[in-house]
Structure 1
Amino acid sequence: MTPEMRNTLSPFRDKAIAQGIPADEVERWLDTARPCVTLSQGGDGPVVGMFGGPLMLPADTPTPVFPFVASVDLTALPADATDLPLPPDGHLLLFAFPDDDGDLVNIGEVVYVPADAATEERDRNSGFWSEVDEFRKMVEAFPQGRLRATTTPSLPCHYAVQIPGSTHTAPLPGHPHSRELAELWEATRGDIATGGPLQLGGFASEEAVHLDPVNSVVECAVKTAEARGWGEAVSGAVEDWVLLADWNPRIEGMEGAVVHWAIQHEDLTARRFDRTIATVFWNP
């Protein structure tokens, strides 16, 4: 987080202190801020990818079973757009089916295509969803078009942690006023940060946030690793994971749905994007 970006959070700082939250706690909260990049079809930022478009994959990469959402050109991302150790070049391809029937199951994947990889075009409409009218119509409603990037600050939208062995929660460690701070960010971020339907890095958000949404991804990951036989343990600790991307499909009939892709820190560093897990939150 650059000093210039932190300075953009000054209105939040001033309002938090005016509410009676101790200044030192407000500063600790601001210390958690992370840079992220929001991607949208409007604005004047650089073009860094697109919703939809041709599905280009290396010959030895299986066609994902989930619908194709977007591609991101990592070379085109602004410098220091996120604090994620992303590859400096190549493309990230995001896939997701934003419906899980209320079950906590993996609904997406990520493919990294190196810059020097020879690719071939694949059929975007060959997944399980293409044979069911309801599913096909949902995917046909996915947004299409170029994506422009804006670098912006991100603060936690959640404010509690689960107490081990209990159904109760507690404020985020070190932040006794975490609820007030998260609620203030929800009320002010529209005036401070630039939003967009797709976000890389930063903190996960969804309607009525309480716990970190990455928690549900981690829970799903543990089950998915066992089912897939990944051969090595997957951490059940949320601090070992990081949000890779958030996507609000903005599909009619699924208003408020948000897809979260998350990955373990060690897998991101090793570029094992095939171990990315995705979940969807939707409160109909």
Structure 2
Amino acid sequence: MIDDWNTDRVGRFRAEAASRGLPAEDAEEWIRSLVPGAFFAPDGDGPPLVSMGGHPSLPEGVPAPAYPLVASVDCALLPPDTAGLPLPADGHLLFFADPALDFRGQRGEAVLHVPAGTPTATRRTDSDFGPFEPQELRRMWQHLSPVDTDAFTETRWEDADDEQYELAGELEDAWTHVGGSWPTWTFALGGHPVVRNDDPLLVARDDAPQDADDWIPLATWRCPQEVRELDSGVITWLIRRADLTARRFDRVYGYVDM
């Protein structure tokens, strides 16, 4: 089940922000900070768009990954330009990770694209974690993803004060108010990162300042309660947009927060 974009949400947000007396210029800056994302949940019908957990199906000659399989995305079932990302048009995009705080930095085995028609076989992963519980995500919806309010505040105002942090929170509340009720998602492509303690984008940009602006979130996993190594953990895979276009998934940056 693929739901349509919430196309009129920006207009409703403008009206809601104005009704609350929020400055129009700050509301417009909030709108400019939005980025598209695709979000997946287990309810819905149709074929699974994302298969979570289990053991991966890998091409012959590809070594067993060092990390357990988190998700397998069926790229052929995704609409064109999903989440505004230049994703592969076919095959499966496999995401691997350890639910540990030292899963951080460039991880050459964290993402693998298996093109359609490639012979594969199920392989067990040599890892202290996993395999994770299998789950099929059949529902997908796309909408504009808001930036973390602290990140918005610190980008919008230099040396922000308490009133400006409060204003950013009011903008977020107005945006949430006009969004309707969305299911709780498990896995996402694109969008802004989920911030627990540190913003994964800022971490990646600090590690690679020479091309900091090119980093984008590729995918995010909200770890379920069964992943006891992390308390409300979030795993983020980031990539440079140029590397995504070139299919250089060996340059993915992994980040775990909790």
* CA shift digits 1:8-60 (9 cap, x unpaired): 34443333223322234323422333322111211346521201244111223
- Residue matched to 2:202: 215
User: SS at 1:191's partner residue?
Assistant: coil
Match of 1:277 among 232, 253, 256: 253
Tell me, which stretches of 5 or more residues in structure 1 are unaligned? 130-135, 163-168, 223-233
**Normalising by structure 2, what TM-score?**
0.80
Same amino acid, percent of matched pairs: 32
Which TM-score applies when normalising by structure 1?
0.73
**Residues 170/32 of structure 1: CA separation in 2 closer, same or farther (3 Å cut):** closer
Deviation at 1:92, TM superposition (A): 0.5
Cα distance in 2 for residues equivalent to 1:38 and 1:250:
16
The count of corresponding residues between Structure 1 and Structure 2 is 247
Q: Residues 221-232 of structure 1 correspond to what in structure 2 (within 5 A)? A: 222=207
Q: 1:189 to 1:63 in 2, by over 3 A?
A: farther
The aligned counterpart of 2:148 is 158
* Equivalent residue for 2:173, pick from 165, 181, 184: 184
Q: Is the 8 A contact 1:73 1:90 kept in 2?
A: yes
Contact 1:30–1:155 (CA under 8 A) maintained in structure 2:
no
Q: Does residue 240 of structure 1 match 2:224?
A: no
2:187 counterpart letter in structure 1 = L
Aligned Cα root-mean-square deviation (Å): 3.3
Deviation (angstroms), 1:242: 0.7
| Structure 2 residues without counterparts, runs of 5 or longer | none
Matched position secondary structure for 2:21: coil
User: Separation in 1 of the partners of 2:122 and 2:86?
Assistant: 28
CA 1:145–1:66: 2 relative to 1, 3 Å: same
1:83 equivalent in alignment to 2:84: yes
Q: Which has the higher contact order (CA 8 A, sep 6+)?
A: 2
Check the 8 A contact 2:104/2:253 in 1, yes or no.
Answer: no
- Between stretches 76-85 and 239-248, larger displacement belongs to 76-85
- Letter in structure 2 aligned against 1:207: R
CA distance, structure 1, for counterparts of residue 106 and residue 100 of structure 2:
10
CA deviation string 1:149-206 (max 9, x = no partner): 32221333324569xxxxxx83337997772366426854873555411001111113
| Distance in 1 (alpha carbons) for counterparts of 2:179 and 2:150 | 22
Separation in 2 of the partners of 1:20 and 1:91?
47
* Equivalent-residue separation in structure 2 for 1:73 and 1:190 (angstroms): 27
Q: Distance in 1 between matches of 2:217 and 2:168?
A: 21
Secondary structure at the aligned position of 1:20 is classed as coil
8 Å contact from structure 2 (residues 75, 90) kept in 1: yes
Aligned to 2:156: 172
2:72 aligned with 1:66: no
Corresponding residue SS for 2:203 = helix
Question: Match for residue 225 of structure 2?
Answer: 251
Q: Is the 8 A contact 2:30 2:171 kept in 1?
A: no
CA contact (8 A) 1:240 1:264 kept: yes
Could you tell me which residue of structure 2 aligns to residue 147 of structure 1?
Answer: 137
**2:114 aligned partner, one-letter code:** V
